[in-house]
Chains A and B, each alone.
Chain A
Amino acid sequence: MTLELENVGRNINKQWIVENICLTVADNECLALVGPSGCGKSTTLRLIAGLDPVSAGSIHIRGRDITSLSPSERSVGMVFQSYALLPHLTVFENLELGLRVRGVPKPERRFKIKGILDLVQLWNRADNRPAELSGGQRQRVALARALLRDPEVYLLDEPMSNLDAQLREDIRPELRRLVLEQRKPTIYVTHDQHEAMAMAQRIAVLHEGRIEQIDTPYNLYHNPESLFVARFIGRPQINCLKGDSGSIRAVRPESIRFSDEGLSGKLQSREWLGNSQLLFLETQQGVIRMMTSPDQGIPAQIRLTWRAEDEILFDADTGLRSRR
């Protein structure tokens, strides 16, 4: 395993911002860190980059302990949320700065930058300042800077959050081509679960500074280990119903069916989503979300049911999965 985090934690004023983070990321693997804002996903990334000091645990890259090394000694390439391009320098100068302080001679600097800018298809904008570029172009410059280091690990901190929805979808294949083909361990921080599922082979869900579950996108959706993960992954959100003896029954909206018997309800509102429709049904158990095909008719007497194997049981007190 190339990147390993063992029980890593960060403590400020006796408060754990993140705690007991254990991760391993293989070569050629992209791991996404997701979670609500303030869950510690960016902090984890900063600990790996060496931007914040590690309070506990250790970090290894290819077996080398880098826990207490400075950021520049770690060989990480990082893309920041705001891209962190210097507004007073041109694209070329932005890329050149790191090479210059690392003592790369001038002809070689030019050769390398030309190569990278060709790769991200921005050589013709080399003499422009960041303000003259579009958001997507800026992001590619930031990426080019990370690629230029030829690092052991790639760290991407919400690289798409400043782009509009359409552009994000367009850029994803490009980002996969550029970063994942480097065959280096990559950590991708995002609050957008769709993006995480699209980019990563595995996803780690963080909650209040701890990892709730690390798994493949499929397993996170179908076999969540905790109520938090079940609620966090999947839109529209999973339905939670009160079960027997302090348990919670969670059912995905697409598993709900109309039937002749079962929970009775009343249609509150509906949302058309193009290839499907989302119904909000008022029942004794609260509002139930139901996802169904757009041509589904609404019966006069609404009764709801679902298959037993589609129901996931959680302990109401601990929030953990309880097995039958």
Chain B
Amino acid sequence: MPLLILLIPSLLFLVAVFALPLFRYTWLSFHADSVMTGLVAIPNQGANWQRFIHDTRYLQDLFQTLRFSVVSVTAEIVLGLVIALILHQPMRKRALIRSSALIPWALPTTVMALGWRWIFNTPYGPIDRLTQSWLGQSLNALGEPSIAWITTVYADIWKTTPFVALILLAGLQTIPSDLYEAAKLEGAGSWICLRRITIPLLLPYLGLALMFRLAQAFGVFDLVQVMTGGGPASSTESIALYAYWNALRFLDFGYSATIMIGSFVILSSLILITWLVVTTARNRSQQSLAR
């Protein structure tokens, strides 16, 4: 029993920071609490939820957030695997190379988000100058709605791929090398080794990276807020940013809480589905390995 006492402070903190807000949001989502009500919570019989269901801007932001998450996480996993395979090779100055590869992940998002604004600046940034001189036209990477979201995806990939790569590197280090030696004796090439040994044995790590990254990408905020402010034409606005605008720009706390609780439910179901898919894929690959 004294064991539990040691855990209580941490658990209390966690409940206060993670569970209480969810209860508070649920409660707030059934209240009007905005400038109109003088920032006092007044019950409004589910009007927030009515609005939420018919909110086309939220729907658009949800679409953008999912598009952002799926594209950037997929790219991060593929690129992270490549980087992990590179870093797994024996090499000189390994520590220095690993540190350099880690730097993008360690820097504050906001620091580089503004850096990207300069790099993708039209017409003075280096990328725009390149496209101007090579393609003869401006890319307008942050001003063109159909391109701007890809630019934010690129910035997100740059920052978080090192994290994915490290997790996969940890996975690579758990694969015993005699598996590869045995496969080489059987005449397997490096592609077969990757397909038949590396990827199946890496699946738990791929699943872990996938889940963590999907959850983080779904809550993307810093990068978008600083890099594009949600623009142009709300094309890069994420759910978290929309909730933030509602609370701190429109001062509508009731609706902001509704967005967050609604998004929480959507995210939880997405994570659950991903988890189910990952575990069944893992079981299937284990069965095929056993065969």
Query: Do any CB atoms of chain A lie under 8 A from CB atoms of chain B in the complex?
Result: no
Q: Could you tell me which A residues sit within 8 Å of B by CB distance?
A: none
